[in-house]
Amino acid sequence: MEKAITLGANAAKAASAADSARSAAIAEFLRNSAHAIVVPLVALAIFLALWSFTASRIQTSLGVVPGPVAVFKLAQGLVADHLNERKNEQAFYTRQEERNRAKLAEDPQAEVHIVNWTGKRTYLDQIVTSLITVFTGFLLGTFIAVPLGILCGLSKTVQTALTPLIQIFKPVSPLAWLPIVTIVVSAVYISDNPMFEKSFIVSAMTVTLCSLWPTLINTALGVASIDKDLINVAKVLRLSTWTKVTKIVLPSSLKLIFTGLRLSLGVGWMVLIAAEMLAQNPGLGKFVWDEFQNGGSHSLGRIMVAVFTIGFVGFLLDRIMNSLQELASFGEATA
């Protein structure tokens, strides 16, 4: 009887301890969640308050610096302009279709055609253009940097040969590359019916030249850091170069490769905005420059909308690459 009572008491204590541990874990989770949510919200509120307080006290040649509310309203206006432009485009094609149907009804043999819409690029169109351009340049840079990085990591001779070139070209500003790229593309890319706009090629190539270096360097470092025993095993098994690269080199250096890709995409996004501003190529950079040149009453506010858009898009691109990096690192947390 006493033994049964003792066992029951021990079970009750164990259940109580489990409940306490569970409650402690839930409380810790709630504290961490609140810390992760509340602290950024407080910081954001302080930033908006300081911005609102100081903006109204700064007078520029374009008027008072717009505060958060004014910038938000201008952002809404840019979105509304985009939606209105799409409605006009749809109406434009609808009118053509109705006119062509009426023409064919009168004469089934009549020739009909559709005129392409040539309306202005809206703010959202500029964002899409910049995203397509930066990913094109980033992918081209990746296709160049990863193979070269693997060669540098596997061969001391190749590494020694390319290191001076990497150190020379890596710090070159996009503002220096852009005139060269523009001249070369204008001389080489000649076509009566080009597949891509020349401005798109210029911006993408500038992004490629400036963004490939972090990927190249990190890939070379990752390959050079592979355990030598794995390389020796590949030699013993007499694996082909392709098999050795795909089965041993790439999987072993994937984490550092993705680190380089993450850095390259961030560099590419910054480079693109500068290139678009300087060359007046379509995109967010051109939007900022046009508003600056326009000098209207809402220009400063629209430039600030673009600044926040550039920062937010850059943040999203970094988070996407960070998620891919964690997948490549099998869930290991990254900065």
Res. 301: pLDDT tops 90:
no
Residues 2-24 pLDDT 10s:
555 555 555 556 556 666 666 66
The pair phi, psi for residue 258, each rounded to 5°, is: -70, -30
Report CA dihedral (189, 193, 196, 197) to the nearest 10 degrees: 80
Give the residue from 258, 292, 286 showing the smallest Cα distance to 272.
Answer: 286
Integer angstrom CA distances of residue 40 from 106, 211, 311: 67, 31, 16
CA distance 219 to 151: 9
Q: In this structure, are residues 215 and 257 in contact, taking their beta carbons and an 8 Å threshold?
A: yes
Give the residue from 291, 260, 273, 134 showing the smallest Cα distance to 205.
Answer: 134
Report CA dihedral (103, 106, 108, 113) to the nearest 10 degrees: -10
Two tokens, residue 169: 């070209």
Q: In this structure, are residues 210 and 271 in contact, taking their beta carbons and an 8 Å threshold?
A: yes
Give the residue from 131, 160, 67 showing the smallest Cα distance to 314.
Answer: 131
Homologous superfamily of 123-328: MetI-like (1.10.3720.10)
Q: Which residues pair with 60 in a beta bridge?
A: 63
CA distance 44 to 36: 13
Residues 239-288 pLDDT 10s:
777 887 777 887 888 888 888 999 999 999 999 998 888 888 888 989 98
Q: Three-class SS of residue 120?
A: coil
Q: In this structure, are residues 204 and 136 in contact, taking their beta carbons and an 8 Å threshold?
A: yes
Average pLDDT, the chain: 83
What average pLDDT does range 307-332 have in this prediction? 83
Q: In this structure, are residues 119 and 91 in contact, taking their beta carbons and an 8 Å threshold?
A: no
Q: In this structure, are residues 74 and 62 in contact, taking their beta carbons and an 8 Å threshold?
A: no
Residues 170-226 pLDDT 10s:
888 888 888 898 898 888 888 777 777 888 898 999 999 999 999 999 999 988 888
Sketch the domain layout of the chain as residue ranges: 2-55, 66-106, 123-328
pLDDT at site 142: 93
CA distance 199 to 157: 38
pLDDT at site 205: 92
